[in-house]
């Protein structure tokens, strides 16, 4: 009888000790997560400061002046809202600037090739039809 009682007390002690170890690991992990989050916030603040300093030091006129001094010919990146289907067979996209009133000026057609299936570039899959929503 005494042996059984001793075994039960020992088992309870081992379980309590292991529970304390697990609890300490949980606290340590929570502390590491919190510290990592603080570091991320500090890095983000530093990045914002650098971005604002760059924006403060570089005006659009200065950038245009620097680009004009370069020997290469630079083209502006097209605005996605300015993409339109190419006239004709529809095998391309037309890129170009507008005159500010919506009229096209200096348009260029680039070939359009859809992404290969499974490449990860084909866009989101169409949503399956929900029969419950349609009442059927």
Percent of the chain with pLDDT over 70: 56
Confidence of residue 89 (pLDDT cuts 50, 70, 90): low
Q: Is the pLDDT of residue 44 over 70?
A: yes
Domains of the chain: which residue ranges?
Answer: 2-61, 75-111
Could you tell me if 54 and 62 are in contact, meaning their C-beta atoms sit under 8 angstroms apart? no
> What is the SS3 assignment for 39-95?
HHHHHHHHHHHHHHHHHHHCCHHHHHHHHHHCCCCCCCCCCHHHCEECCCCCCEEEE
User: Does 45 have pLDDT greater than 50?
Assistant: yes
pLDDT for 47 beyond 90: yes
Backbone angles phi, psi at 88, to 5 degrees: 100, -125
Q: Which residue has the higher pLDDT, 4 or 88?
A: 4
Give mean pLDDT, residues 15-32.
Answer: 97
């Amino acid at each position: 009888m005494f042996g059984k009682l001793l075994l039960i007390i020992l088992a309870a002690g081992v379980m309590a000790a292991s529970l304390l170890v697990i609890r300490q690991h949980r606290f340590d992990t929570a502390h590491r997560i919190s510290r990592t989050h603080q570091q991320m916030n500090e890095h983000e603040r530093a990045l914002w400061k650098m971005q604002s300093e760059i924006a403060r030091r570089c005006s659009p006129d200065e950038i245009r002046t620097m680009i004009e001094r370069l020997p290469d010919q630079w083209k502006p990146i097209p605005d996605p809202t300015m993409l339109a289907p190419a006239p004709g067979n529809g095998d391309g996209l037309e890129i170009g600037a507008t005159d500010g009133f919506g009229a096209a000026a200096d348009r260029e057609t680039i070939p359009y090739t859809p992404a290969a299936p499974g490449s990860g570039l084909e866009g989101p899959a169409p949503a399956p039809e929900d029969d419950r929503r349609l009442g059927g």
